[in-house]
Structure 1
């Protein structure tokens, strides 16, 4: 039976000296002693404070939260990973709720839902609207409602992490993790957590418009391999609309004023043909993807049956 000794608490940090000590102590109080702080080269005392409070400290070789998380996974051997921000906005007391589905083998990835219990003022109105927009976009593009895909408090099995193909450098890492869960059909649960305001002494590294744009681009980019019909179809429809608009304009000019726009007519025709081809390609890609997923699902079932037979034979 897995225990909390099998869990590594992963804390990506950058200039979190005001809160990191209390965060680490909080997890130690929850009997989670294996704490890894991956630091992005803080110019305050984050690294020293982390070490003084009993955490293992690694300075990342690059920059950005996404790069830090990907590099940290290479330093973790524990079968379970609990990822949390080091700014004091998440409660260590919620660790049990996040880990329980993993330790009981009910899920391979657990996301903490900040909106279930959010302290007043913990999130600005702009960030709240942005989160809602991004979650709605995720549901539309990738077909799953994870409620809070940008949550930085989540737990996952080492086995599921090894299936992910992560490339995000910055704050898009949470989005990428969520998309990979859908892509690889990883069993995912959502649990309510408490989200609190940042301590007065700390400053956020988040830039709402820049990082929000990056996250939306990450959602769209990853649709190429997870929902190709949407990825190629959206461009194809845009091309069809543009070509149809140009064709309509050329037709009106020809019939009402006798003016021919040969170049515009050619461009419009190319746009229409291009749009139709993209829609066809997106449809075919979607069919191939569904067939691949069905084959992988059958393969997983065969492997599960083999494991069950091996366990029964040992007994």
Structure 2
């Protein structure tokens, strides 16, 4: 059954591959294929329509904005299967991606490209960068999602709407992973096959620029997920820099008799700032931990509380005797 699934394909200048991708999903039984286009300058939209896709042009720019707009305004299905339109993902993996959603074991599914990655599918630099980002994410956010930068996702519309997403560009995959970890969205990782881009298809990814965006997205989100790491790492940099400058000042003073008053002041400020940031990180981490425990207790109470009883209590009808019985007891029988 695929009537409850919308295949979402964000595109920008994917004329060389989009028709094959749309056809692949439709041949696997997915009738609702939505292409959300970011203003392509080639024939992407025309090829997508000819292949049988629904095509919408996004009002803004960037992959993140396209996904948010598509789910908010153009998706009516319960489940979304999101993939790139560059021919690197296979529709034959779709059933495995959707199974955790339909079985109720997950609300968000990430396709792990490293489970079966073809040799030429990713450059060595990109492989190293992906491993670093995944390791850093696991340390900061205390979740191991295997491949947080994967563009092959499946999720329920309800779970997507619970997430606070603001990224417009390629940082959207990282932000999805961070928000799932932060909001406790049940997430599964499914092995998939990752193929090389077909000949004639050019990537829109810029490794250095987009790598920096992804790195900053992971680090920026740590201030609420892992404040000890966020403030502690900044404090460590400041403290070590101050200590290094202080060591140089002390050496020059004792060995050469040269004083560096300004550098000594800078060193002192750096060390003090580092200590303060570390203390602030410890306190913030304590607050986040207590907040999480409080939320867990509230959710436990909500699960124990009967919604029917809550409705009766709010309406003022709980444990109220029948009016007719009360009337019989209050009024003596007529003589």
Shorter-chain TM range is: over 0.9
Q: Does 1:83 align with 2:82?
A: yes
Tell me the TM-score normalised to structure 1 length.
0.92
Q: Whole-Å Cα distance in 1 between the matches of residues 204 and 214 of structure 2?
A: 15
CA distance in 2, matches of 1:46, 1:234: 44
1:297 is the counterpart of 2:264: no
Summarize deviations over 1:96-144 as a string: whole Å, max 9, x none.
0000000110001110011111122111222212211221221222222
Quickly say closer, same or farther: Cα 1:298–1:238, change in 2 above 3 A: same
2:221 match: secondary structure: helix
Following the alignment from structure 1 to structure 2, what is the Cα–Cα distance between the partners of residues 79 and 296?
Answer: 27
Q: Which residue matches 2:56? A: 58
Measured against aligned partners, the alpha-carbon deviations of 1:253-299 in whole angstroms (never above 9, x if no partner) come to: 33333333222222211111111111111111111111222222233
Partner of 1:20: 18
Counterparts in 2 of 1:208 and 1:265: CA distance versus 1, 3 Å: same
What is the deviation of 1:249?
2.1
Match of 1:4, SS state, is coil
TM-score normalised by L of structure 2: 0.87
Question: 2:68 pairs with 67, 70, 92, which one?
Answer: 70
Match of 1:277 in 2: 276
Q: 2:35 aligns with which of 27, 33, 37?
A: 37
The two structures, once aligned, show a CA RMSD in angstroms of 1.7
Residues 39 and 306 of structure 1, relative CA distance in 2, 3 Å threshold: farther
Deviation at 1:4, TM superposition (A): 2.7
SS of the aligned residue for 2:46 comes to helix
1:23, distance to aligned residue in structure 2 (A)? 1.3
The answer on 1:191 being equivalent to 2:184 is no
* 1:116 alignment counterpart: 115
In structure 1, how many angstroms separate the alpha carbons of the residues matched to 2:305 and 2:55? 41
Matches within 5 A, 1:143-158: 143-158=142-157
User: 5+ residue gaps in structure 2?
Assistant: 310-335
The whole-number CA distance in structure 2 between the counterparts of 1:218 and 1:103 is: 31
> 1:313 is matched with which residue?
none
SS at structure 2 position matched to 1:82: strand
Query: Matches of 2:220 and 2:41 in 1, distance apart?
Result: 33
> How far is the alpha carbon of 1:201 from its aligned partner?
2.4
The aligned residue for residue 5 of structure 2 is: 7
Corresponding position of 2:332:
none
Deviation at 1:214, TM superposition (A): 1.4
Q: Which residue of 1 is the match for residue 317 of structure 2?
A: none
Aligned length: 308
